[in-house]
Amino acid sequence: MSDLLRLTDDGLYCEAGDFWIDPWRPVRRAVITHAHADHARPGSEAYLTSSEGRHVLRLRLGPDALIEAVPYGQPVFMNGVRVSLHPAGHILGSAQIRVEHKGEVWVVTGDYKTTPDPTCALFELVRCHVFVSECTFGLPIYHWPDPRTVFAQIHAWWQANAAAGRASVIYGYALGKAQRILAGVDASVGPLLTHGAVERVNAAYRESGVALPATEYVGGVADRARYRGALIIAPPSAHGAPWVRRFGDCATAIASGWMQVRGMRRRRAVDRGFVLSDHVDWDELMRTIEATGAERVLLTHGYTAVVARYLQERGLQADVLSTRFVGDADDIDAIAEKA
């Protein structure tokens, strides 16, 4: 089996097609899995993304970036290499990149989840010879609860805070997690207020056709009495910042897969932790790898060594592919608005 894709100083490169997937330095042509900062970096001459992801990628890269957007599944040929994008289920527009050349098929997942999410297309299984997979939560301790249970917990917490006259501040990444929270909560409980970074991404989601409940930018709220009983969605980097002080005695929570770990809520210094992740858990990771039928698995970020060893012990050819992707980090850097 050839190395259809290989690591270079610029990132994961397909020499036959002369393009890079999620490069970390400017290149001639970049194929982008999704718009999070560690996968979509500015400066390249041209970008290819999914049609669903064009607005959020534009928000990331700015107005001057040359972006070509194609529907999921539609092939694009680059020097005879067949490239197509398939739903990854991670955030709006997220895609697995299928690369085919001379009968050999590689799939690069970027970040992905297989759980249904109303804010993005459902993950599509793509069979391949080589599967390049994240493993952000690649330990058996990570097993996600049913999202319906998690949202019931969020509602109960929010309602209890509202009854006590307190604001509820919940932290989730500005791109993806915040919109998933908004799409999952019951807007009849109280006002939905947002940090500026979240509100900017909300606009891109709405422009892409994603239905979100009405929200109001915190900075535009004149009557601070409206904070009491509100659910306020903000990125994790806002926690502990002067921005939060305007809410007075408020309850705080974070929505993240890391909340599965006992003690993580205390380390993050919030009142509650809700287990809600936009990545596969251990069982989903194992099921997906098996279902692809891949003869070889390359692991890009997360618990790569652990997962590689586990797969090797089960007779699969598995290796670590060292990249600069981080998988689950605060995504406010390129779109933050001081609010």
Strands 216-217 and 192-194: parallel
Mean pLDDT of 203-211: 97
Q: What is the CATH number of domain 6-141+278-320?
A: 3.60.15.10
Helices 177-184, 147-163: inter-axial angle, 10-degree rounding: 80
- Predicted pLDDT of residue 156: 96
Give the integer Cα–Cα distance in Å for 262 and 156.
21
- Predicted pLDDT of residue 226: 87
3-state secondary structure of 88: coil
**What tokens were used for 249?**
């005695």
pTM of the model: 0.93
**Which range, of 42-46, 117-121, 191-195, 321-325, averages the lowest pLDDT?**
321-325
CATH class of domain segment(s) 147-274: alpha beta
Count how many residues are written for the chain: 339
- Predicted pLDDT of residue 331: 43
Write out the E strands in 205-333. 216-217, 231-234, 251-255, 272-274, 296-302, 317-320
Confidence of residue 339 (pLDDT cuts 50, 70, 90): very low
Instruction: Let me know: does 257 contact 113? Beta carbons within 8 Å.
Output: no
Strands 11-14 and 19-21: antiparallel
Domain definitions of the chain by residue range: 6-141+278-320, 147-274
- Per the listing, tokens 């670590």 go with 320
Q: In terms of C-beta density within 10 A (0-12 exposed, 13-18 middle, 19 or more buried), how is residue 164 classed? A: exposed
Confidence of residue 265 (pLDDT cuts 50, 70, 90): low
Long-range contacts of 254-258 (CB under 8 A, 24+ apart): 254/170, 254/171, 254/172, 255/150, 255/154, 255/170, 255/171, 255/172, 255/177, 255/181, 256/172, 256/177, 256/328, 257/136, 257/137, 257/142, 257/144, 257/281, 257/328, 258/328
**What tokens were used for 41?**
């970096």
pLDDT in tens, 174-196: 999 999 999 999 999 999 999 99
246: nearest Cα among 338, 117, 137, 108: 338
